Amino acid sequence: MNFSDKDIASDLMAMCKHAAQDLTRVAAECSNENLRRTIRQMRDQGEQAHNQLTNITVRNNWYLPAAPADHQEVRRVESFYARGGEYQTPAPGGYGYRTETGGYRTENYGYRHEGGMARPGEAYGVRPGEGYGAGAGANMGGVQGGFQGGFQGGYPTTNVGQRHENPGYRQGHNEYR
């Protein structure tokens, strides 16, 4: 079985990325100044090579680079950190902030509820009874106590605060069922 140029380029890109990570880690662990400098030079050269390879793959349409971020999303994050990393007005019962037009915007992982609050005990963006994807802060919409119950056996989507065996999601399985 032969690899195509595209396959080879993809493998080389992965190899370059791993090499850069390994060299960065090793350099941080070195106390010998000369060795650390040499390894960092190797890392820098490797990153340049990775960049050149990326350009080759993009030119040949072997690799699809990520699309630019949505401008509104960039502004939303910029605005959050420009305020010191705090929400202006925390939404009752969960995270969120008051929008200019009133009402609370409550967002989580691409799901969006606008113009109203998530109902208490309901994880944002998830219909009651459905499972939740893995990820820290997944239970952002819940009231206190939700985390405790949620992390041990599936995220609660209703009745937050109580342990809720959610059949839709099991830890260690990164999928919905």
Minimum CB–partner distance for residue 64 and another protein (Å): 17
Q: In 3-state terms, what secondary structure has residue 140? A: coil
Q: In 3-state terms, what secondary structure has residue 42? A: helix
- Choices 9-17, 76-84, 94-102, 164-172; region in contact with another protein by CB under 8 A: 9-17
Q: Which is nearer to another protein, 13 or 143 (CB)?
A: 13
Query: β-pairing, 104-108 with 97-98?
Result: antiparallel
Q: In 3-state terms, what secondary structure has residue 174? A: coil
- Among positions 35, 69, 74, 134, the unique one binding another protein when judged by CB under 8 A: 35
- Choices 34-42, 72-80, 119-127, 136-144; region in contact with another protein by CB under 8 A: 34-42
Position 138: which residue type? A
- Contact pattern from residue 57 through residue 96 relative to another protein, giving x for each residue in contact according to CB under 8 A and a dash for the rest: --xx------------------------------------
- Among positions 24, 26, 87, 130, the unique one binding another protein when judged by CB under 8 A: 26
CA distance 78 to 65: 23
Measuring CA to CA, which residue among 41, 6, 2, 1 is closest to residue 24?
A: 41
DSSP-derived letter for residue 175 is S
CA distance 46 to 4: 23
Q: Which residues bind another protein (CB under 8 A)?
A: 2-3, 5, 8-9, 11-12, 15, 19, 22-23, 26, 29-32, 34-35, 38-39, 42, 45, 49, 52-53, 56, 59-60
